[in-house]
Structure 1
Amino acid sequence: MNPICGDWRLQMKTPIGTIEADYHFEEHDGVVTGTANGAGEAVALTDLVTRDTPDGPRVTWRQQITRPLRLNLEYDVTITGGTLAGESRAGRLPRTRVTGRRITA
């Protein structure tokens, strides 16, 4: 099973404050998919890629949100046990620090 699979709670440190969202990842026939739930909306993740690196499993994905702002986000995180850390980016805006912890496997 892919190490990202399960439920995660992520925190993004943004210029407008810390935003929390819940993420669900699952694998079917070797393909990993995911959804994000936060700010009253659920969105599918796209371009989800996982790969092994010397620092641990690295996961990248994209998502489009409409709340609190309409943004196209790109995520790049590394998993270490039951936590993850990395960054997200929304277009030309500065990178945002992302941390997360596993809720369920």
Structure 2
Amino acid sequence: MAVEGTWDLSLSTPIGKIKAVAEFRRKSGVLVGTAHGEGEEVPLSDVVLDGDRLTWQQAITKPMRLNLAFAVRIDGDTLTGTSKAGRLPASKVTGERRILQAAPEH
């Protein structure tokens, strides 16, 4: 299962929907990534792909300082799962992979 690429994420949180972007790539054979949202860019840690299950952790400071743990299932170009911040209830996460547009031929 390939997860590399750019994913548009939507998190349904107690304070409303939050849009974010996660980018995954392989670096020296290891899966790494970054997330962008709420005006900040943060590295992803402990990125693990096990079959169709993808997990990672990240720290954010906006809208508040939280350490998030994500657990999602990949199904082709979509993902669904949860994001958990400490003792707070889990938030539903959905996402779609951005499809690269082929350059038009001349």
TM-score (norm 2): 0.91
1:86 pairs with one of 81, 86, 103: 81
Residue type at the aligned position of 1:102: R
Name 2:30's counterpart in structure 1: 31
| Distance apart, 1:104 and its partner CA | 3.5
> Is the Cα contact below 8 Å between 1:83 and 1:100 reproduced in 2?
yes
Name the Cα RMSD after superposition: 1.1
Q: How many residues align?
A: 100
Residue type at the aligned position of 1:72: N
Name 1:102's counterpart in structure 2: 97
Q: Within 1, Cα distance between the matches of 2:67 and 2:50? A: 22
Name 1:22's counterpart in structure 2: 21
| Distance apart, 1:4 and its partner CA | 1.1
Please list, as runs of the form range in 1=range in 2, the aligned pairs for 1:70-85 lying within 5 A after superposition: 70-85=65-80
Matched residue SS, 1:85: strand
- Larger Rg belongs to: 2
TM-score (norm 1): 0.92
Higher strand share: 1
Which runs of at least 4 in structure 1 moved beyond 4 Å after TM superposition? none
Unaligned runs of 5+ in 2: 101-106
Q: Within 2, Cα distance between the matches of 1:85 and 1:4? A: 13
Name 2:54's counterpart in structure 1: 59
